[in-house]
Every structure is written in C-alpha cells, then in structure tokens.
Structure 1
Amino acid sequence: MKQMITLASVCLMMVGASSVSAQTVYDLPSKAAPVMVHDGSGVVFLGKDASVYRVFSWNASKKADFDLLMTDIDGDGKPNVVGAGKPTFVLNHDADPMWYLDKGCDQVIVQDFAADNKQDLMCLNGNDLTIYTHDGQLIWKARMNTRLGACKAADINGDLKADIECQLGKNKFTRFDGAQGQVLAESTDTSEIEETVYTKTTPVESTEEGTLLKKDLDGDGTEETISVSKKEIVVSGKEGEPKKFSTNTKKYKRVPVADLKSVMANGFEDNEAAQKVVTDLNDKLANCYASQVRKNQFAGQGDVLLEVKVGAKSKVEDVSLLHSGLADQGVAKCAIGVLKKGKYPASEAGGKLNIRMFYTFADK
C-alpha cells in the first residue's frame, strides 16, 4: 500500500449520467475559463475573450452516478471538474488537466476517505476497486474474485472517513474500510449504506433552463449573453455580430505552445556556447509537447525543469527531470532524449545546465 497524501470535501455541481445528451451552460469562478458548456460529446470552456478556450471529450460511463462533477477535490477553495468514464480525469478551476486515468472507470465516487480536509477518488473497474488521492497518487487497490456491482460510500463507523459498500451479485454486499482497504464484510446479506451523500452541495449558477447565462467575461463592466442550443454556442451583447461556436468538441483542433523560459549554464569553458546548444534544440523540445498534447487531450500544461550534467570530455553524463507540472510523463521523457543528443562545449571540472520549459495549449 502506498503512503496516503491529503484530500477535500465541497461539491458544487453534479451532472447525472442519464442527462449527458442535454446542453447546459455553467458560470464558473475562473478568470481564464469563466464559462463551461456541457453536452453529450464533452465540455467546451469559453475564455475571457468570449471565444472557445479549451475543449475535452470522453466516453461517459453509463454506470456512474454522474458523468461530470464539480467539487473542490484538492482543498484550495476552488472547484475542480471531474469526468467519469473513459478516460476519467480531473481539471483545475482554470480548465488545466491535473491528472487522468487513461483506462477510465466504470463508476467514480469522490469522497473524503482519509479525513484530512481533501477528497479522494474511488474508481471501480470490473473486479478492481482503487482509491486515489486528490492528485492521482495510489492509496490502495483491491481485486476481488468476482465482478463488483455498483458501489456506495458513507461513514458507517463514525471515524469521519467514508467507507465503501459494493454489490456482490444480486443479493449480496461487500464492504471496505475506505482509508486503508481492509475488507469489513466479505459477503453479507445486509446493506449498511443507503446511498452516497455528497455533502455541502450547491448548484453552479445558471438559469432554470440551463441554456442561457449572462456574465461579464472580460471585466469591462458589460455583460455578455451566452446561449446554448443542440449544435451552437452563441455569445452576444456587445457591438458587432454575435460569436457562434459549435458544441461538438470534435470540431476543434488543439494548438500547443512551448516557451523556453530560461537556460542557466555553469562550469563550461564557454557558458554562452552551452546555452546556445539548448536554444538551438528549442524546436525539438517544443515538438516533444506538440506530439503528445495532440494525441492525449489530458497531457496538461505547466513548467518542466531539467538538468544536464556534462563531463570533462564534453560527454553528457546525465539528464534528469527536476520537476514536471504536466499530467503526461511522455513529454519529459522525450525532452530528456533530445537534450542527451546535444553537442556541448568542453568543461574541465564538469558543466551543468538548468533548463525551464513552459508548455500550454488552447483549442481553436
């Protein structure tokens, strides 16, 4: 069992799996992505410029209690977006991918299983029941001899930690301690959890119909009107023609952006020449991200910090990853491979380069 990491508990909005075909617009407390539109094909986020900012699609689970949940999973006071299905994913309040499960989950429950002011994510897949922390770290995993049915979560022993009960066949149940995964009841006729209760729930602001929203997107004091139909998102309210966008997430193309923020060189006979080696590799470092983010929509955005150590004979001794803010590990792996092939200048005592890349994206 892995060491547990902290988790959260304020639900803001839950969209049932049965309502995936409806188009709904939501008012989000975000400057970068102040509006979210949800329909059966995915979610579309509008930016402060009243244009499409980011889009995501997934195969929503028909077995889950919800296909889209908004909750403060990491305890920072801002809502996260959790998608249930394949893949299963978590976005931060600005629509930045935080982490994802590529194989997805048949059922997802977000609850505080560790009683530490943050929330955890339960993933049910066939015989496997897995609990992850708010940032995607494994807490525990149980594999049963038979396929598990629908699960529910609630605190049944008063320890302030949610426990889990799953159907085992038609008339049997099995229960787990949510914090550590011990089996509390391997097979029993009696159910102790009536339903999963998402505490402190309040709806995200929208009209009763859910298809119309008025909001000042760019902070200039004038409200825009966002209306949603089956095929279109229309933004109007200022001078000029209304902006129209498709609700179909497959209509958009991902635009990756890579920025070489800094290159620090020390210990080389010519530090500037060592820096130039890295700047000349910038296009290849950028392509590491572009190739991944186009095939993995949840690759994420953020800084990647790398360190290159060069020996006395200009031979690369090591390239190490110091930090990655991305959800996809393939970007850093590719960047390490690019930097290993660099032709660096000589260094008597050994030279060192510290590189900071920033990767992000938009959908157009």
Structure 2
Amino acid sequence: MAAITPGGIAFLDADNALFRAFRHQRTARSGFDQPWIWIEDLDGDRNREFVGAGRPAFVLDHNADPIWGIPGGCEQFFLGDFTQDRGLQILCRNGNRVEIHSHDGQRIFVWEGRGYRLGQCWIDDFSSNRKLDLACESGSNHLFFDFRFDGPEEREGGAPDTMARGAANLTRTAALARGDRPLDLGGRQVTLAADGGELRITAADDGAVLARHTFGGEQLHSAAVVDLGHGPRLYIGDDRHHVHVFGADGEHLASVNVDPAGLRRDARVQVRRASANRIEDASRETVEGIFAGALDRFTQCYASRMGEDQTTRVGSMVAQLTIDGGGRVTEVQRRHSDLRSAELDGCIERELRSLRFSSATEGTGIASITLDFDFVDRR
C-alpha cells in the first residue's frame, strides 16, 4: 500500500506496518501542471512503478524496491514516450542540460547547450509523429527537440501551446466529504467527513455513522480501499503525515506515521550461497563462517551508500575470489551485480580482499560468494 505525503512517499505492508519511505521535495518547476509523483507501468510488464519528480528524482518498482534515482533532482521533470519504443521514459532538465533516461536509468539522450539560456519547457507531439517532443523558451525564440538528432532546432517566436499530461493518483477527500464520490468498502458505499479533528465514516445509503475516530489533523488528504490479502480495508491519509486504516465493518485497525523524516534505514546483507575449492578446509560450514564473519563490514558498506543516496538499489552480488598458498585473497572477480553502484561494489570488493582462508592446495584456490542486499525503514 503506497501513501503519498507532503514529505514523500511511504509503503505499508499487509500488517499495516511501515515498510519503506522515501523523502521527496517538490521543486518549483517539476513539470509545471504535471503530477510530482506518477504511478505508471513504464516498461509494459503490467506492474506499475512509482516515479518521483523533484528532488530527488527516482523510480521505484511495484515492490517499493529502488530502480534508480537522481539525488540532486530535476528542475523540470517529464514522463512520456519520447523514443517510440512503446514504453515511457523520463526527461530531466537542469539548467541548460537535457537528459532522457529509460525506466531502469539508462541514459538515452543528453544535450548541454552552451550559449543558450533555457526558460520554461513544454512537452507535446509537436511534430505529429506519435511521440513526445520538447520545446523550451530561449530568449525571444524557442528551442525544439524531437530527439532524432544530436541537438535542438532553434525557431522564432515563443513555444507553441501544449496540452498538459495529467495523472490522477489520489482520490481527494473534498469530493468524498460532499458525498458525490463514495467508496466501495466491502460491498457497502461509504463517504468520509472530517470536522474538528474527528473523522467520520458514513453509509452512503442511509447516513448511518459506521465509525468515528479522532485523528489529530485538520484535513483529510486522500483515501482508497485496498485488499492486501486480509479483505478490503479503507486507508485514509491526513495532513499530519498519518495513514488511518479501517476494516470493512468500520473498525479502526491502525494509525501509522508515514512521514519520511526521522526514519532510520536498516541495511540488511545476507550470504545466500558460499563455496570453495582447492583449499585445505573447503567445508561448507567453515567457508560460510568466514563470509558470515564479514557481514557487519558488508552491511556498513551498504548503509554508508544509502546514507548518500536513498535510492540505492536492493539486489545481489556474485563474486569469485582467488586464494594463494597463505590463504590470502589475491584477486576478486565480480561475476554479477545488479546494485548499479560503483562505490558500493568497490567497498564490498575491498572487504572481500581482506578475508583469510586456509591455504590453497594446488597453487591457487577458489571461493565463490553470493550476497543479497535489502533494507527496511524504522522509526
């Protein structure tokens, strides 16, 4: 369950506990009339991703796992099909620099104009070729990008009119309170109202009050009915960064503080698989014990990186170590890593080089390790 708050986006698990939260600041020019958080299927796999504009800019998958991010954010941020590949891409503009990234962070296009000063930018299918283009103010003229060439075309006059691309991700409680947009809660239509710090859930047919709850805020922010495996539940967000959870019968189940500020991110690194060959003691118990003894150091590498970039990925790393006659690691070969962080990969490799094994029996020995990286947020 995702909850979009003024301070970012948070995720609750099926037990109504906070799972993860991501800080997010809307910049003054984040796509202008466009949303600052999208919920879209970017790559056509029928799972929706969470896309944040502003600072930082990021993409999270449907499990709230970070895919990639831009820690410094974007002055202007647009989401759409700029390349005609049947997916959606991210356009980020900072100053005179324009970049387009795929859903997984691969850079498709980059342009940095010297001698230009870009003003407000718009997107639309200006060239009528079934993909989005970009037009930006530049003095009394505008620059036009159709992303088929290395640079833009300068045209006289202001940028053409455009239709803003909208997305409705939340149901506004203002409409619910008026009774013109009821919610289906387990087969019963209900409306919401807030007055004097009290939340009321009312049956739409006869006006019966199903539940009252003091929520401590002044306004309701959003509401949705979601079934996470325990039957339909009503999730209501208020203006104090809390989500209130109610069962189908109106019973209050939980109130969760989803403000990303003040959270502690707990890094978790585990050994999934470990083995060794051609060393004196290659038993599974001994080899796994050597790697397990370094887990605290691996975890510190991961935690340090997350402190610099909250969109550091979860994932795995597979490495092969070469061991000499004295049990020292002489080489680390990274066979796989989907962490996509050179700093994190380098830190883990340095810790792997510091390990000591039993002596190699045939000149050199080999050890292999698969590490899994994950995290949760706690208050």
1:263 to 268, 274, 298: 274
1:48 aligns with 2:61: no
Q: CA-to-partner distance for each residue in 1:73-104, whole Å, 9 max, x for gaps?
A: 22211111111112111111111110001221
Counterparts of 1:195 and 1:164, CA distance in 2: 12
- Paired residues of 1:165 and 1:193 also in contact (CA < 8 A): no
Q: In the TM superposition, what is the alpha-carbon distance from 1:294 to its structure 2 partner?
A: 4.1
1:61 to 3, 27, 49: 27
Counterparts of 1:247 and 1:339, CA distance in 2: 37
Counterparts of 1:327 and 1:39, CA distance in 2: 28
> Which runs of no fewer than 5 residues in structure 1 stay unpaired?
1-34
SS at match of 1:290: helix
Between 1 and 2, higher relative CO (CA 8 Å, sep ≥ 6) is seen in 1
Alignment of 1:137-176 (within 5 A): 137-144=106-113, 145-169=115-139, 171-176=140-145
1:97 aligns with 2:111: no
Task: Say if 1:86 and 1:203 are closer, same or farther in 2 by CA, change over 3 A.
Answer: closer
1:125 to 88, 94, 107: 94
Counterparts of 2:268 and 2:253, CA distance in 1: 28
1:291 aligns with 2:259: no
Counterparts of 1:80 and 1:358, CA distance in 2: 22
- Paired residues of 1:97 and 1:327 also in contact (CA < 8 A): no
Counterparts of 2:149 and 2:280, CA distance in 1: 55
Q: Which amino acid aligns with 2:234?
A: T
Q: Which amino acid aligns with 2:134?
A: I
Task: Say if 1:268 and 1:275 are closer, same or farther in 2 by CA, change over 3 A.
Answer: farther
Counterparts of 1:46 and 1:68, CA distance in 2: 17
Q: In the TM superposition, what is the alpha-carbon distance from 1:313 to its structure 2 partner?
A: 4.9
Moved more, 338-347 or 248-257: 248-257
SS at match of 1:242: strand
Q: In the TM superposition, what is the alpha-carbon distance from 1:106 to its structure 2 partner?
A: 0.4
1:229 aligns with 2:229: no
Alignment correspondent of 1:318: 331
Q: In the TM superposition, what is the alpha-carbon distance from 1:128 to its structure 2 partner?
A: 0.7
Alignment correspondent of 1:83: 52
Task: Say if 1:331 and 1:244 are closer, same or farther in 2 by CA, change over 3 A.
Answer: same
Alignment correspondent of 1:113: 82
- Paired residues of 1:162 and 1:179 also in contact (CA < 8 A): no
- Paired residues of 2:319 and 2:369 also in contact (CA < 8 A): yes
Query: TM-score scaled to structure 1, two decimals?
Result: 0.80
Q: CA-to-partner distance for each residue in 1:133-175, whole Å, 9 max, x for gaps?
A: 2211122211112331222223344444322211113x31101
Alignment correspondent of 1:195: 163
Q: In the TM superposition, what is the alpha-carbon distance from 1:239 to its structure 2 partner?
A: 10
- Paired residues of 1:139 and 1:180 also in contact (CA < 8 A): no
Larger of the two Rg values belongs to structure: 2
Give the count of matched residue pairs.
324
Counterparts of 2:288 and 2:270, CA distance in 1: 15
- Paired residues of 1:161 and 1:178 also in contact (CA < 8 A): no
Counterparts of 1:239 and 1:162, CA distance in 2: 46
Root mean square deviation of aligned Cα: 2.5
Counterparts of 1:353 and 1:206, CA distance in 2: 56
SS at match of 1:330: helix
Quote the sequence identity (%).
Answer: 25
Q: Which amino acid aligns with 1:351?
A: G
Counterparts of 2:250 and 2:276, CA distance in 1: 51
